[in-house]
Amino acid sequence: MSSILISLAGKERRRQPGLKNPTGTPPSGRASDPRTGRRVTSAPVETIVLAYNKPVGLITTHDDELGRKTVAPASCGRKRHKWHAIGRLDADTDGLLLLTNDGALVHHATHPSSKVPKTYMALCRGILQEEQIQQLREGVELTGGLGTSLPAEIVVEGFEENATLLRITICEGKNRQIRRMLLAINSQVLTLTRLSIGDISIENIDSGR
């Protein structure tokens, strides 16, 4: 895990040794002192964010009933139940995954109203035409009843044999959204890597670190 300065939707937070609560109100808990019976207030909980370059094949969850490898034990040795993913990645997608102990930060970073950009590199089946690319830019109807995607930034990075390489930036994160967007224009994702969330990227972070 590399030390990073996080800027999500204009709110800067420094990872390690700790971050201020993004809501502006440090969370605290109340408990009883077993010796006196008096109510005591615990110290504020610091927000921690970890950047992890997830390899293909890992599941973004704490435990998997099928016994598949998961992100939680691979990414850090801290208490696993405290960690929340800021935007999950499916097993077939690699790239940047942010983990935090702050549920409010997860909500802030993933809610469309925050407009936190997420950038992906997608190798797509077929040589895509300008009309198809424009459809992605304007928004397409997603399968699974997820509605229409918001406008996206699409950059054609190049072409391979019967494939197109796209850099895609979106400000929402519906389930398997990039894959559903490509299906909507009669294409298919062959490989998918998340490059960045906000100002944080996987640059200089080795896969599996």
The secondary structure of 3-38 as a DSSP string is: --EEEETTEEEE-SS-B--TTSS----EEE-TTT--
pLDDT in tens, the chain (209 residues): 333 434 443 333 444 333 233 444 444 455 565 666 666 565 566 788 888 898 988 776 655 555 566 666 445 555 544 678 887 888 899 999 888 888 888 888 888 788 889 999 999 999 999 999 999 999 999 988 999 999 999 999 999 999 999 999 999 888 899 999 999 999 999 999 999 998 889 988 888 88
Instruction: Please report, for residues 22, 85, 174, 193, the alpha-carbon distance to residue 11 in angstroms, rounded to integers and kept in the order given.
Output: 8, 18, 23, 25
Say what the pLDDT of residue 135 is. Answer: 98
What are 132's two structure tokens? Answer: 């198809």
Say what the pLDDT of residue 5 is. Answer: 39
Domain 117-200 of CATH type 3.40.50.2300: no
C-alpha to C-alpha distance for 96 and 99, rounded to whole angstroms: 10
Which of 33, 63, 64, 90 is catalytic? The answer is 90
Where does CATH 3.30.70.580 sit in the chain? 5-25+36-110
Whether residue 117 contacts residue 170, with contact meaning beta carbons closer than 8 Å, is answered with: yes
Q: Ramachandran region of residue 185, left (φ > 0), alpha (ψ -120 to 50) or beta?
A: alpha
Q: Is 90 among the catalytic positions?
A: yes
Q: What fold characterizes domain 5-25+36-110?
A: Alpha-Beta Plaits (3.30.70)
Say what the pLDDT of residue 43 is. Answer: 56
Where does CATH 3.30.70.1560 sit in the chain? 117-200
Say what the pLDDT of residue 189 is. Answer: 98
